[in-house]
């Protein structure tokens, strides 16, 4: 093994979506499955544009999740979004944007962490301001 | 796989038990003397934790296959010191427990992987916050190093509910055993 080998030369479209919700993992997965129009393979969903995995966030903390701008790191779920590399950046951003907007539309506070988060709706931050439950989640 | 266990406990009694993949099961006490030894499972589980060589819930053959799959994957490009930790290494897992894979790397390697995984960072972004968390705690999650697909493959093949894969900084916050090195 080469200890100095650069491992990540390919485009990095991977995006983490942190979800602040106490619904069950199954319900969250099934809800996303409606958006994808496919049946879930356990907690994974995929279509021609990419794949998502609905994962439990191992760092989940019911107190820290409300802790200002770092709170998202402690949300209950982490959705791993892996757009297909063939999409190119523009389409990858569109793919993630649609997932994010769908989650928001379903009432799930979601926060994106990825290389292109500034290109996402509301810069990938939690929720758009026009959502009615905004006040509860305003960052301190 | 199981084998019998006999031994003296507290100088008062003898217990017969079994080591199984799931842990130690006391089958029946064989009382010698006036009083049977009190609860002995914690002591025996302690020995079990230290001597475990395959993750709880796996057979030796499965673990060999599991190890082979991980070593033949992109995971081994990050480092060769790959171990199982968490509840399945400790012998404290339940049926639905995750299996945790740690790729332990020294500081220089950790920093290199970090640099490659977080190379397009905007100040104040959520991605930057995840990077700072990784630095602070010495852990990089599987998605950041493109190992999610390996996790999924392992879940499907071996039936685990989740396979957690992390790059762990040696000496860092998460560099804690008990460990079971891959075969």
Report pLDDT digits (tens) over B11-37. 333 333 333 444 443 333 333 444 444
- pLDDT on residue A130: 52
Q: Name the nearest CA neighbour of A47 among A36, A34, A31, A39.
A: A36
pLDDT band at A68 (very low <50, low <70, confident <90, very high): confident
- Asked whether the beta carbons of residue B126 and residue A72 sit closer than 8 angstroms, the reply is yes
Nearest Cβ partner for A16 among B113, B143, B149: B143
Classify burial at B85, counting beta carbons within 10 Å of its beta carbon; exposed 0-12, middle 13-18, buried 19 or more.
buried
Between strands A77-83 and B3-9, the pairing is: unpaired
**Cβ B117–A44 below 8 Å, yes or no?**
no
Cβ A1–B120 below 8 Å, yes or no? Answer: no
Residue B99 has a CB neighbour count (10 Å cut-off) of 26
- pLDDT at residue B51, rounded to an integer: 60
| Contact residues on chain A for B129, CB-CB shorter than 8 A | 69-70, 72-73, 113
Between chains, do A7 and B149 touch, taking CB under 8 Å as contact? no
Q: Which residues contact B88 (CB under 8 A, 6 or more apart)?
A: B55, B56, B57, B58, B97, B98, B99, B100, B180
Predicted confidence band of residue A11 (pLDDT cuts 50, 70, 90): confident
Q: Tell which of A51, A58, A82, A100 to mutate to test the B interface (max B CBs under 10 Å).
A: A58
pLDDT in tens, A104-133: 999 899 999 999 999 999 899 876 555 554
Rounded to the nearest angstrom, the minimum Cα separation between B8 and chain A is 41
**What is the C-alpha to C-alpha distance for residues B79 and A4, in angstroms, rounded to an integer?**
11
Give the span between the Cα atoms of B10 and A103, in whole angstroms.
Answer: 59
Burial class (CB in 10 A: 0-12, 13-18, 19+), B88: buried
> What pTM was computed for the model?
0.78
CB pairs < 8 Å spanning A and B: 81
Confidence (pLDDT) at B177:
87
Q: Which residue positions in chain B have pLDDT lower than 70? A: 1-51
């Amino acid at each position: 093994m080469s200890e100095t080998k650069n491992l990540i030369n390919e485009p990095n479209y991977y995006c983490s979506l942190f979800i602040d919700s106490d619904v069950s993992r199954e319900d969250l997965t099934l809800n996303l499955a409606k958006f994808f129009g496919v049946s879930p393979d356990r907690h994974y969903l995929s279509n021609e544009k990419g794949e998502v995995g609905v994962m439990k966030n191992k760092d989940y903390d019911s107190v820290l999740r409300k802790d200002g701008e770092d709170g998202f790191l402690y949300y209950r779920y982490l959705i791993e979004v892996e757009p297909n590399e063939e999409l190119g950046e523009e389409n990858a951003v569109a793919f993630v944007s649609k997932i994010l907007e769908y989650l928001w539309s379903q009432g799930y506070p979601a926060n994106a962490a990825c290389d292109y988060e500034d290109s996402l709706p509301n810069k990938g931050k939690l929720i758009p301001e026009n959502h009615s439950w905004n006040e509860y989640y305003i960052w301190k | 796989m199981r084998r019998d266990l006999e031994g003296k406990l507290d100088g008062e009694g003898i217990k017969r038990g079994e080591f199984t993949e799931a842990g130690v099961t006391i089958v029946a006490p064989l009382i010698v003397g006036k009083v049977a030894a009190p609860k002995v499972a914690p002591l025996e589980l302690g020995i079990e934790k230290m001597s475990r060589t395959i993750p709880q819930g796996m057979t030796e053959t499965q673990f060999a296959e599991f190890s082979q799959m991980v070593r033949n994957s992109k995971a081994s490009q990050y480092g060769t010191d790959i171990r199982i930790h968490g509840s399945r290494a400790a012998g404290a897992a339940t049926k639905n427990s995750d299996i945790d894979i740690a790729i332990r790397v020294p500081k220089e390697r950790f920093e290199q992987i970090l640099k490659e995984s977080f190379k397009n960072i905007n100040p104040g972004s959520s991605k930057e916050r995840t990077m700072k968390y990784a630095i602070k705690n010495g852990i990089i999650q599987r998605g950041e190093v493109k190992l999610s697909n390996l996790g999924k493959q392992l879940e499907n093949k071996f039936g685990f509910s989740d396979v957690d894969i992390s790059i762990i900084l040696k000496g860092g916050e998460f560099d804690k055993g008990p460990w079971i090195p891959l075969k």
